[in-house]
Structure 1
């Protein structure tokens, strides 16, 4: 018996099995990060960083005197505190400042929430943890740090980390909702319910 060339019906069965397996995997391959067997979705840190970078720079006027801007965001993840952090370059400009604009760095940590209406994972109640300004000291530095911290928190409140399409959350006839959110060291995992 020749083992190198299986009978034609055997080859057809193998081919059908392979095609069937490929057809089953195709919808799930398009949904990398989704695991419908464990009812979870994990967004990698790199995926989230890419999404955040698209939404910057951002700026806001404060008290009609200062213009505060954030750019070059870097995402940090704190699994122990279940919080995300954004560290960004901060710029404060004002006609009242001799050296305008003032540059610095701000780090803001935040809880996360799911906005079902927009199907988006958002920052929630961000808190400025660290703010350093370059080239300014004393009382002026203290005042500008307060302004920078307040505006950075306002700019990041509700900032989208990851949005989902209706198609992503639908498999067959079932449409999933997002449940618990867990920050991991290398990504954010959400429960699908």
Structure 2
């Protein structure tokens, strides 16, 4: 009897990793990051998502042709109870109208999540500024700048990619999976493969 080896495709590598990982590690498969085709789910860890988000910053946008608002140093937060992700970032508002320009601060934005099938990406959806603190500005100026900062931060984060998938990652053998339900956990985000 002759035994021939089959070429190792990316799909077979993932399957082997899943099998070996489950056998070697005495940890439930749901606790492991990555694809689990036995339970039809993928889990992205907080660290993996944080790395992906950091690559897409800094971002900036002009507002009303007067203000330049920028975000940098994003930190990911996960709210399992609310099934939402949050981004806390350093905020900068610059304008020739400001005596102390640029104004620095911190903004926290929470967001629902959605899957964009056309780009195979997990994205922020309808982000909402929950907290915005500015340094060195008070009174009406602070209120006005907080409104500007909140609006622009929400616009900058709308549709922001948390995780992209390749076609190879979503294919096992002849089956190509789609992403279904999205569940935020305390230490990562789990998506259903269907």
The TM-score, its normalising length taken from structure 2, stands at: 0.86
**Can you give the 5+ residue segments of structure 1 that lack an aligned partner in the other structure?**
1-15
Q: Give yes or no for contact 2:41–2:192 (8 Å, CA) kept in 1.
A: yes
Q: Which residue is equivalent to 1:26?
A: 13
SS at match of 2:146: helix
- Aligned pairs (5 A) from 1:2-151: 26-28=13-15, 33-151=34-152
SS at match of 1:144: helix
**Between Structure 1 and Structure 2, whose CA radius of gyration is higher?**
1
Q: Which residue is equivalent to 1:7?
A: none
Runs (4+) of structure 1 exceeding 4 A deviation are 22-25, 29-32
**Can you give the 5+ residue segments of structure 2 that lack an aligned partner in the other structure?**
19-32
Q: Give yes or no for contact 2:12–2:172 (8 Å, CA) kept in 1.
A: no
1-structure distance, mates of 2:91, 2:17: 37
Offset of residue 29 of structure 1: 5.4
Structure 1 residues 29 and 49, CA gap change in structure 2 (3 angstroms): farther
1-structure distance, mates of 2:171, 2:90: 38
CA shift digits 1:32-60 (9 cap, x unpaired): 61000000000000000000000000000
Aligned residues: 175
Q: Which residue is equivalent to 1:174?
A: 175
Q: What's the Cα RMSD here? A: 2.0
Structure 1 residues 178 and 56, CA gap change in structure 2 (3 angstroms): same
Offset of residue 27 of structure 1: 3.0
Q: Which residue is equivalent to 1:8?
A: none
Offset of residue 28 of structure 1: 2.8
Structure 1 residues 96 and 160, CA gap change in structure 2 (3 angstroms): same
